[in-house]
């Protein structure tokens, strides 16, 4: 049975690596480490270790190498980091989910949550546990940023980019080839802001697209 984790629309590369990092507003160097893994020097032994990739399905080389699923995984990792969850907690949790629970696309699961200190997972008994040590959690606090993700059949379907505060901007691989899209218009953010960059008056562009000036300003500022 095909799921969003295996649907070609979600697994076919449609972004460049730098483009993907810009969409989710993650540092390009961090995104590269998540996508391809990285070497690190172990403090105690003084030897080199290897951290495997956290994102799934990213290809090597240039051009379009990042599928929507990997973009969504990166979005979730960056969201975790922004609420203060360190990579030292994120990486082991993803490894546990993949190896012990058998979730290859663990970060895309609707059962994934955070309380701001740990990554949590709702198990088969509908109990919320800390992924890192499998201990139960009794005071459930689900971070607001997870509301930026819409799910279907248990997996991430589309993202809402919270950086655009005054207007809803989504990323959906089935709309505009996965490019950031103004939800209520169905047009790419780039199609709107390019007219402002070309020198057209803000009021004229806003009127043509049926946008409030504040909404257009948000698009222009965040897409810069």
Give the architecture-level CATH label for domain 161-224.
Orthogonal Bundle (1.10)
- Return the pLDDT at 202: 94
Least Cα distance to 15 among 77, 55, 59 occurs for 59
CB 71 within 8 A of CB 63: no
- Return the pLDDT at 41: 66
Mean pLDDT split into 10-residue runs, the chain, 224 residues: 77 96 95 88 69 92 96 92 82 80 80 71 66 55 66 91 91 97 96 95 95 94 80
- Return the pLDDT at 167: 93
The SS3 call for residue 83 is coil
- Return the pLDDT at 26: 95
**Residue 34: φ, ψ to 5°:** -65, -35
| Pairwise CA distance, residues 200 & 159, whole Å | 30
- Residue ranges per domain, the chain? 161-224
| Pairwise CA distance, residues 116 & 28, whole Å | 24
- Identify any residues that bridge with 181 across adjacent strands, giving them in sequence order: 170, 188
| Residue linked to tokens 């975790």 | 80
Q: Is the pTM of this model over 0.95?
A: no
Q: Give tens-digit pLDDT for 22-55.
A: 999 999 999 999 999 877 766 666 677 768 899 9
| Residue linked to tokens 């955070």 | 114
| Residue linked to tokens 């248990």 | 154
Give me 4's structure tokens: 């969003």
Q: Where are the beta strands (DSSP E) in the chain?
A: 38-41, 48-51, 112-114, 119-122, 128-130, 149-152, 155-160, 169-171, 181-182, 187-188
CB 170 within 8 A of CB 158: yes
| Residue linked to tokens 């897409």 | 223
């Amino acid at each position: 049975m095909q799921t969003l984790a295996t649907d070609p629309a979600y697994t076919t590369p449609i972004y460049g690596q730098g483009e993907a990092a810009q969409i989710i507003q993650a540092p390009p160097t961090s995104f590269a480490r998540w996508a391809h893994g990285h070497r690190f020097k172990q403090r105690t032994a003084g030897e080199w270790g290897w951290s495997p990739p956290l994102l799934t399905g990213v290809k090597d080389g240039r051009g379009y190498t990042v599928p929507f699923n990997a973009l969504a995984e990166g979005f979730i990792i960056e969201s975790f980091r922004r609420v203060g969850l360190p990579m030292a907690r994120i990486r082991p949790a993803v490894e546990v989910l993949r190896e012990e629970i058998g979730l290859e696309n663990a970060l895309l699961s609707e059962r994934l949550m955070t309380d701001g200190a740990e990554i949590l997972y709702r198990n088969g008994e509908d109990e919320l546990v800390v992924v890192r040590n499998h201990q139960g959690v009794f005071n459930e606090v689900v971070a607001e940023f997870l509301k930026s993700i819409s799910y279907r059949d248990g997996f991430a379907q589309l993202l809402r980019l919270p950086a655009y505060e005054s207007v809803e901007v989504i990323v959906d691989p089935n709309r505009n080839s996965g490019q950031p899209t103004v939800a209520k218009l169905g047009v790419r953010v780039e199609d709107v802001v390019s007219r402002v960059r070309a020198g057209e008056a803000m009021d004229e562009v806003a009127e043509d697209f049926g946008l409030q000036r504040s909404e257009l300003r948000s698009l222009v500022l965040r897409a810069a």
